[in-house]
Amino acid sequence: MPLFDFVCPKCEHTFEELVFGKETVECPQCHSRDVERQMGMPPRPQSAAADLPIACNSAGPPCGAPWCQRGNT
């Protein structure tokens, strides 16, 4: 996925942007197009033994996902 980190030298705002091809990136705070792409960190590798991420809080109400409809079937 082409997700990049950017910093705007004008207002010093840092942000992430999904960029395809030669799209122009604009700072979401000051709308300057003079932004600098930063070196991003690669994601941490997942081990086979790691637990799967939890999509919702099991102590709260159902989130709407099919696997989270506890007792609503």
| Mean pLDDT across the chain | 77
- pLDDT at residue 73, as a whole number: 45
Residues 21-25, mean pLDDT to the nearest whole number: 91
The Cα 18–Cα 71 span in angstroms is: 38
What lies within 8 Å, CB to CB, of 46 at 6+ separation is none
The Cα 18–Cα 9 span in angstroms is: 19
Domain boundaries, the chain: 1-39
The region that residue 55 occupies, defined by phi over 0 for left and psi between -120 and 50 for alpha, beta otherwise, is: alpha
**DSSP state string for 52-73:** PPPSS-TTSS--SSGGG-TT--
pLDDT digits (tens, 9 = 90+) for 31-49: 999 999 997 666 667 665 5
**pTM, entire model:** 0.53
